[in-house]
Chain A
Amino acid sequence: MKLQIKKISRENLFKLIDSLCSEFEVIAPVKTGGDIFFNHIKNSSDITLDYINAVESPKRFFFPQIELMFKMDLNELKTLVDKEERKTRKKLIFGIRTCDLKAINGVDRFFSGERTDSYYQKLRQNTVVVNFLCNECAPECFCTAIPGETLYCDGYDLRLSGLEDGYLIEAETEAGKEILKKNRLLFSETEKRDFKLREENVKILEEKIKRNNPFAKTIENLRKGKVSSKAWENIALSCQDCGGCCYVCPVCTCYNTIEDFENELIKRYRYWDSCLFSGFSRMVHAYNPIPTPGERLKYRFMHRLKYFEERYSSAGCTGCGRCDVVCLGDIGTGAVLMKIKNKEPKCSRSL
């Protein structure tokens, strides 16, 4: 499918967002008490374009933190399914950074294949994804420090790139082209120098992120299993067992289930879990195949940086750095890679 590229001014971008709000249920970056979150918006005045990335990824819109799976009526022993049709309005997520786009691609692949996760598919289908390329990076960002990763990623419907005097807007899919067509009066034609400028911006940013996070070689060593058990145990000493890294991770989708009574009605929910919890793999008679904090940390890192990518041909860690921001023990992904690289796998806090 041929790419379609136009240019849009900042003023007209807000008009485009207003137009999208009339057609779609729009989810976009919103400033709340100084922090940026993805949330539903009514019109373009709710949105902020002045952000590096949102505190949380848009994961929860497809994979809620707690989700009702089904109800079971114990008197009749029948599964009662949610008869309420979800709104037929299509969803549009605006302003996804490339790291989160990579995550959506990966989770899409994870939850489909020979078997599909119907709850995820139900929330994910009919969603238009608008990617917004980064112009700057936060201290925690390390996306392009992962070997082979760039600031570009396919899988979007529309992509925005910031220029000095507006934005490039590209449509990759039919859904994206349809939006360009419907709102054609808002766009102008592109010029060669727009692309040159974008190319330059992207190159500069990619190099800056690589310079800030010089651990490409460390990731290769980690993938080859060259990090000792002792190093993992030492690093894991500062793990607080909070699970925050997994909750904010845009690619983490492990869940647990729980059942709740309401008279004769049983409700089964699923909720986010973390492989760093000791109960994650614990079985009867307290037998635990992944028994120590160090082994659990290794289990998580090997999955995120090696096995996920091998199995689903999509990045298991997108380098968004949210785990580094949220970690109380200073052992987010970036921090751990630096500790391994500098051979200082000592816990930074005395516990």
Chain B
Amino acid sequence: MGYEKMNNEYLPIIAKIESFKEEARDIRTFVFSVSNENCFAYKPGQFMMFSVFGYGEAAFAFSSFPARDGKIEVTVAKVGKLTTQLFSMKPGDKLGIRGPFGNGFDINALKNRDSIIVAGGMGMGALKPLVEALILERKSFGRIDILFGARTPQDMPFKDDINLWSEKNDVNIETTVDFPDENWKGKKGVVGLLLDNFKINPLGTTAFVCGPNAMLSSVFSSLLKNGLDKRDIITSLERQMKCGIGFCGHCRIDDKYVCTDGPVFRYDEIELLYKP
């Protein structure tokens, strides 16, 4: 039996860079065209494995929902060798993708509930498809509040999308940066501070949190202080991954694999990671 006769999930398929957009300093949203239809049937919160040939493979979340015209979008920060190489690539260049992988968000469970989305910097990339899924059927869902923080105004991605949601889709947005410049109109300080004066209906609200590790612990504890149940706090985790299908072992946390059991987890499933 040859490899091709078996369903080999390790073989990447080819994706072509159609365009890219500068979202913020060293953050770009790449638009890829893919010939394989399986890649479009993804849920918000799922991810793909991207191969930049010769530089390896890494996991990136889909950053928009749904796929449009056979194209998928992924937002990438330039942080290491693979992403630096990706940033040097031009429209027309090709790379490999595998996926979609992971569990994704349970959108149906949010019907008629309020959603509060707390994101720090690139963490918004994993939550953006969720917001887009909610506003596709805006009337089925309750209030949507987005609390979004970044280091500086130049480090804040998705500004255009956020303005659009706020103007057209009845989404309440509050932004904050640690280091504002003279043109900054939002708040100053870490994103957790926005929660301090925030009124939440604890029984009818689900919170979604994603961002750097330093931010997560404080946001989790403020949400709990606001009376939210642990099961109504949802996060998307990031780990080193080599396969995406539960075999390489790199993303394991105790008895769970982030790639197959996650990356979306309820707070009660992962709270041990954030105990002081």
Q: Which positions in A face B, CB cutoff 8 Å?
A: 69-70, 72, 74, 77, 79, 81-83, 85, 110-111, 114-119, 121-122, 253-259, 261, 266, 268, 270, 273, 275, 280-285, 287, 289, 302-303, 306-307, 310-311
Contacts and interface: CB of A to CB of B under 8 A. Distances in A.
Contacts of A255: 242, 247-249
Question: Top 10 closest A-B pairs, CB basis?
Answer: A254-B249, A81-B3, A307-B255, A284-B79, A118-B8, A118-B6, A115-B245, A266-B53, A257-B242, A79-B11
Interface in B200-228: 213
Contacts of B276: none
Given A74-B53, A117-B247, A119-B10, A289 B3 contact: no
Contact of B53 (A119, A121, A259, A303): A259
Nearest to A69: B10
Interface of B: 1-4, 6-12, 14, 51, 53-57, 79-80, 94, 96, 213, 238-240, 242, 245-250, 252-255, 260, 273
A77 B242 CA distance: 21
Given A72-B96, A118-B6, A289-B273, A253 B55 contact: no
Contacts of B253: 289
Contact of B54 (A114, A259, A287): A259
B57 A257 contact: yes
Contacts, number: 102
Contacts of A82: 2-3
14 contacts: A69-B10, A83-B2, A115-B247, A117-B245, A253-B247, A255-B242, A255-B247, A268-B51, A270-B248, A273-B249, A281-B250, A287-B213, A307-B255, A310-B255
A255 B57 CA distance: 14
Given A255-B242, A257-B242, A118 B7 contact: yes
B255 A311 contact: yes
B252 A303 contact: yes
A287 B4 CA distance: 38
B252 A72 contact: no
